[in-house]
Amino acid sequence: MHVLELKDVVKRFDVKGKRGSENFVEVLHGINMFVDKAEIIGLVGASGSGKSTIANLILKMNRITEGKLLYNEKDITNIKGKELKEYRRNVQLIFQDPYSSLDPTHNVDWHIRRPLKLRNAQNIEETINDILADVSLIPQENFRWKMPHELSGGLRQRAYIARVLATSPSLLIADEPVSMLDASIRATILELFKYLRNKRKVSILYITHDLSTVSYLTDRLYIINDGRILESGKTADVISSPSEDYTKKLIEAAPDPYKRIG
């Protein structure tokens, strides 16, 4: 079963023309893609390729112009109210910037406890400790009462991922989640994503321009440019035998995607 699927998705934005006339610009052209349960998918393209627009449509921050968005094979293109609220609990965004993703006035415990209370979770103390262990913030008592400014970028990203896990999501949208971290920290966060996929059976859509991290992390990938999916397939297959010139350019721009495969 596909956890998430985009079918023939088109997105247009209205723009003001001369003398107030209404025009539009089409930024996504017939997007077809899917994410299965416990699968890590890469969505790869340069800045302006349409990656973030797709993320915003999945997160229901913008409306689809044409096509369908399916969640667990149910059409949710136009859901509202309680259905939309429940969907947003299940599909969570991991931000690019770990320095602005947490409320600076509250500690780590508060960030995890609050979503647990909102969904009436049982055994909250035990659950908080389990979540902190899953993101390797251990010993837990050393981190529960820390304020965001007391944590490094990598630890702050782990704390935010802990907050996300407290909602018990089925799908994570990770938009350039390691791009602002030191190179030495990036691999540990990517390993965390792999661990969470295996431990919690969560699906992950990993959005980036960097094929070296994609080759290390993902099962399949989609290459996007100018709002179109150019090619897709198993990550190792696409990177080792790209069919599109654009993909070849992305590979050439990556530090060394090939050494990550296998």
pLDDT of residue 1: 82
Residues of the chain with pLDDT > 70, as a percent, come to 95
Burial grade of 233 (CB within 10 A; 0-12, 13-18, 19 or more): middle
What pLDDT digit, counting tens, does each position of 182-202 carry? Answer: 888 899 999 999 999 999 999
What pLDDT digit, counting tens, does each position of 219-232 carry? Answer: 999 999 999 999 99
What pLDDT digit, counting tens, does each position of 10-68 carry? Answer: 999 988 765 555 688 999 999 999 999 999 999 999 999 999 999 999 999 999 999 99
pLDDT of residue 262: 36
Dig out the tokens for 232 from the structure.
């897709």
pLDDT of residue 21: 54
Residue 78 CB contacts under 8 Å (≥ 6 apart), including other chains: none
pLDDT of residue 261: 37
Dig out the tokens for 228 from the structure.
């179109």
The domains of the chain, with CATH numbers, are 2-96+172-256 (3.40.50.300)
Write the secondary structure of 17-74 as one string of H (helix), E (strand) and C (coil): CHHHCEEEEEEEEEEEEEEECCCEEEEECCCCCCHHHHHHHHCCCCCCCEEEEEECCE
pLDDT of residue 257: 45
Report the mean per-residue pLDDT for the chain. 92
Residue 99 to residue 151: CA distance in whole angstroms: 9
**pLDDT at residue 92 greater than cutoff 60:** yes
**pLDDT at residue 259 greater than cutoff 60:** no
What pLDDT digit, counting tens, does each position of 129-148 carry? Answer: 999 999 999 999 999 999 99
pLDDT of residue 256: 59
Residues of the chain with pLDDT > 90, as a percent, come to 81
Burial 204-229 (b: 16+ CB within 10 A, else e): bbbbbbbbbbbbbbbbbbbbbbebeb
